[in-house]
Amino acid sequence: MTAMSMVQALNSAMEVMLARDPRVVILGEDVGYFGGVFRATEGLQSRYGAHRVIDTPIAEGGIVGAAIGMAANGLRPVAEIQFADYIYPAYDQIVSELARMRYRSAAAFTAPVTIRTPCGGGIRGGQTHSQSPEGVFAHVSGLKVVMPSNPYDAKGMLIAAIEDDDPVIFFEPKRLYNGPFDGDPHKAAESWAGHPMGDVPEGHYTVPIGKAAVVRAGNAVTVVTYGTMVHVCLAAVADLGLDAEVVDVRSMVPLDIDTLAASVAKTGRCLIAHEATRFGGYGAELSASLQERCFWHLQAPIQRVAGWDTPYPHAFEWEYFPGRLRVRRALEALMQVSA
């Protein structure tokens, strides 16, 4: 085991796969010589060559389209879209092509592509470097959609994504790249060193796609969350001294509804928290699925905490971000309701 940041863990996953599987190639803007704007591919081109770690033109549609063609011709491309905010020029390739290649050709052609992309706010990125569009992709049939919340999961899930025979959209909460973040922007940045999930095996291992993780056990209320919000929710729960169970969804598609529903059935209360906008967001799917399974166990309506339904404003980052205070207020209100 080695102490790794999330960026190092992702780098290690790609290194492991480049070494193990000659079909694996990496492509994206600035990923080669430079090693990526967040350093996720640092050193990979010098070790594996410019033919396997490929700098591309600034053309997200081209990156994904080419990755589909490479995958159809036997490679295992890992495409980086530099910011999730810049994925939309590739939307047609992802939705109309990548997601449906297996289906429309009755499995005669498949496209096992992994698309890595940094998402989320908290870095003063404004509306073009802060979005969380996981719900937009979770809504598309044929895509696996995941988001790790720590280095250990990041490496294991990225290896699982690369080995998966279906396309995976791999969201990386960039605020967590270099350390956990409990929602307090005024505190000195923490590092992953010393965090239990910052201890990462150097070799090959997987964290299966489609499995949620109970990151804190409890009986009073279930908090269902993922990405950066896992850490924010853990801090809010600690602030309140609540006997809360916190579940990290990790995989939006496929969803581990059994783990989530078992927890909600046990506690009878559920708060769903994500950074993405609320209206029509992924939280709505979680809420509906849990209500269908757990209605007779619920002691209060399922509640959601999310980003406001506005673009992500530069100057009001922390008023926009669903921080600890918003989570605490929602939990307090939720605990006061009795059926």
Partner 1 sequence: MTRIESRLHVPEVPARPGEEPDFSYVRISPAGAVPRPPIGVAVRETVPLAEDLIRVLDDEGAAIGPWDPKLPPDTLRAGLREMLLTRVFDDRMQRTQRQGRISFYVRSWGEEAVSVAAAHALRTGDMLFPSYRNQGLFIGRGTPVLDLMCQLLSNTRDMCKGRQLPVMYHDATRRLFSISGNLATQYPQAVGWAMAAAIKGEDHIAAAWVGEGSTAEADFHHAMLFAKVYRAPVVLNVVNNQWAISTFQGYAGGEQRSFAARGPGLGLAGLRVDGNDFLAVYAATAWAAERARAGHGATLIEHVTYRAGAHSTSDDPSRYRPKDEFPAWPLGDPVERLKKHLIGLGEWDDTRHAALLAELETEVAAAWKQAMSFGTNNDGARLDPALMFDDVFKVLPPHLEAQRAELEAELAAARDAGAAT
Q: Which residues bind partner 1 (CB under 8 A)?
A: 18-19, 22, 29-30, 33-35, 37, 48-52, 54-62, 85-86, 88-89, 124-129, 278-279, 308-311, 313-316, 319-320, 325-326, 329
Closest of 147, 133, 176, 134 to residue 6, by C-alpha: 176
Between 86 and 205, name the residue whose CB sits nearer to partner 1. Answer: 86
Closest of 273, 260, 262, 267 to residue 242, by C-alpha: 267
Catalytic residue among 129, 139, 195, 274: 129
The whole-angstrom separation of Cα 183 and Cα 205 is: 30
CB of 48 to partner 1, least distance (A): 6
CB of 144 to partner 1, least distance (A): 26
- Give the total residue count for the chain: 339
Residue 76, strand partner residues: 24
The whole-angstrom separation of Cα 325 and Cα 186 is: 14
Give CA separation, 330 vs 57, 149, 226, 295, in Å.
45, 22, 17, 20
Q: Which two tokens stand for residue 182?
A: 């409990």
Between 211 and 278, name the residue whose CB sits nearer to partner 1. Answer: 278
Between 108 and 186, name the residue whose CB sits nearer to partner 1. Answer: 186
Contact 140, 100 (CB under 8 A): no
Between 142 and 313, name the residue whose CB sits nearer to partner 1. Answer: 313
- Enter the DSSP assignment of 188: P
Give residue for tokens 């905010």.
85
CB of 29 to partner 1, least distance (A): 7
Between 53 and 294, name the residue whose CB sits nearer to partner 1. Answer: 53
What's the burial of 141, exposed, middle or buried (CB within 10 Å: 0-12/13-18/19+)?
exposed
129 catalytic? Reply is yes
CB of 308 to partner 1, least distance (A): 5
Q: Which two tokens stand for residue 261?
A: 């529903």
CB of 211 to partner 1, least distance (A): 30
Helices (H), the chain: 6-20, 44-48, 60-72, 91-92, 101-104, 134-138, 151-163, 228-240, 257-267, 282-294, 317-320, 324-336
Between 62 and 201, name the residue whose CB sits nearer to partner 1. Answer: 62
CB of 24 to partner 1, least distance (A): 9
Active-site residue set = 129
